[in-house]
Amino acid sequence: YSIIAVAHNDDDKIETFFINLFRGAGVKGLKSIPVKRQNIIRPLMFAKRAHIEKYAKEHNLVFREDSSNKSDDYLRNKIRHHLIPVIEEIYPGSENAINKSIDNLRDSDLLMRSIINEKKQQFFSSNTGEKVKIDLKELQKLSPIRIWLYYLLNKFGFTRKITDAVCLSLENENSTGHKFSSFKYELLIDRDYLIIRKIT
């Protein structure tokens, strides 16, 4: 088989939104769980957990629930059992509103990626397939540079923490020679360029 179907549902999407919010995520994290990622699909994302369980019982479908779902030892379960019911009590219909916000964030992410893909041609130059250069003068014209740099570099495996550190280093007049690494790539701050090389 080439596709894996998993049982994430609408409740999981909202819980993941809060988990990522508490971790300080940006748009990428706040748009929560995608319906499809590579060979993984989530065909039940449209449905609430309670509706799925009700359907299964009405149609005598046997299902198994992980026993850990009832434990408050995990952040997801604390959000599920305690936070979301309180939010729904304070603001009835909040789950629909959160879902709308997630949809808006997904649209915003698509728009940002489209704009960034158009701009990439201005910044990237490459001598070989193993080395990419970004013009520092062009890069420093961008605002806010932190989020631009993250979106330009994340395809090379650089996290937001690393790209923020690169930005901080660029504010230093003596940043030339500073190096940063992701799992597969190394970034070097040169006099006129950011040079990205594949780690061999």
- What's the average model confidence in pLDDT over 142-166? 92
Which 3-state string (H, E, C) describes 13-40?
Answer: HHHHHHHHHHCCCCHHHHCCCCCEECCE
Q: Which residue has the higher pLDDT, 71 or 43?
A: 43
The answer, as to whether pTM is greater than 0.85, is no
pLDDT band at 68 (very low <50, low <70, confident <90, very high): confident
> What local confidence, expressed as pLDDT, does residue 39 receive?
96
User: Torsions phi, psi of 127, nearest 5?
Assistant: -85, -40
Mean per-residue pLDDT of the chain: 91
- What's the average model confidence in pLDDT over 184-189? 94
Q: With contact defined as beta carbons under 8 Å apart, do 99 and 105 qualify?
A: no
Most confident region among 40-44, 65-69, 109-113, 136-140 by mean pLDDT:
40-44
CA proximity to 123, closest of 135, 105, 106 = 135
Output Rg (C-alpha) for the chain, integer angstroms: 22
> What local confidence, expressed as pLDDT, does residue 56 receive?
93
Q: With contact defined as beta carbons under 8 Å apart, do 198 and 185 qualify?
A: yes
| Those residues with Cβ within 8 angstroms of residue 108's Cβ, 6 or more apart along the chain or in another chain | 27
Query: Does residue 122 surpass a pLDDT of 80?
Result: no
d(CA 26, CA 105): 10
Share of the chain above pLDDT 70, in %: 98
**In sequence order, what E strands does 2-159 have?**
4-5, 36-37, 40-41, 124-128, 131-135
140-149: pLDDT as tens digits: 888 899 999 9
